[in-house]
Amino acid sequence: MTYYRGSRVPLSEKSARAYSLTLNRSWKDRKGEGGEKKLFVRLFGEKSKAPAHPEPTARSFYRPGVTAVEDTPGYSRKEKNWVPKVPNLGWMKWVLRLAGVVLLAGAVVWSKEKTTALLQDVAGLRLAKVTVEGNHYLTDEEVAGALALPLGENMFKLDLKGATDRVKGMDWVERVFVERRLPSSLLISVRERKPVALLDNGSLYGVDQEGRVLSPSAALLSEDLPLISGVPLRADAMGTTAMAESLKPALDFFDFMKRHDGVLAADVSEVDLTDRESLKVTFIDGIQASFDPPVTETELRRMAVVLSDLDQKQKRAGTMDFRYRDMVLVKTR
* Cα-based distances in Å from 237 to 180, 215, 306, 325: 34, 10, 40, 37
Average of pLDDT values for 91-99? Answer: 76
- Mind listing the domains of the chain with CATH numbers? 8-82 (no CATH), 129-192 (3.10.20.310), 195-332 (3.40.50.11690)
Run of H or E residues at 85: none
- Smallest CA-to-CA distance from 207 within 233, 186, 187 is with 233
- What number is the average pLDDT over the span 12-23? 46
Q: Rounded mean pLDDT of the chain?
A: 79
Provide the pLDDT for residue 144. 93
Asked whether the beta carbons of 170 and 141 are under 8 A apart, the reply is no
Please give the residue that has the higher pLDDT: either 85 or 280: 280
209-213 average pLDDT score: 95
276-283 contact pairs (CB < 8 A, 24+): 278/323, 279/249, 279/250, 279/253, 281/253
Answer yes or no: are the C-beta atoms of 219 and 190 closer than 8 Å. Answer: no
Choice between 318 and 326, residue whose per-residue pLDDT is larger: 318
Instruction: Please state, as a whole number, how many other Cβ atoms lie within 10 Å of the Cβ of residue 147.
Output: 21
SS3 assignment, position 12 = helix
Query: Could you tell me which residues are beta bridge partners of residue 245?
Result: none
Angle between helices 140-147 and 160-168 (to 10 degrees): 130
The tens digit of pLDDT for each residue in 138-185 reads: 999 999 999 999 888 888 888 999 999 999 999 999 999 999 998 889
**Which among 94, 155, 82, 162 is positioned nearest to 121, based on CA atoms?**
155
Q: How confident is the model at residue 16 (pLDDT cuts 50, 70, 90)?
A: very low
pLDDT for 325 equals 82
Range of lowest pLDDT (23-27, 234-238, 267-271, 283-287): 23-27
| Predicted local distance difference test score (pLDDT) of residue 131 | 94
Whole-angstrom distance, CA of residue 320 vs CA of residue 227: 19
Q: Over 50: is that where the pLDDT of 290 sits?
A: yes
**pLDDT beyond 60 at 17:** no
Residue 123: pLDDT over 80: no
**Per-residue confidence (pLDDT) for residue 4, from 0 to 100:** 44
pLDDT at 278 exceeding the cut of 80: yes
Q: What is the DSSP string of 199-232?
A: EESSSEEEEETT--EE---GGGGG----EEES-P
Tens digit of each residue's pLDDT (9 = 90 or more) over 43-92: 445 555 555 555 544 454 545 554 555 555 566 666 666 666 555 666 67
Identify the pLDDT of residue 94.
75
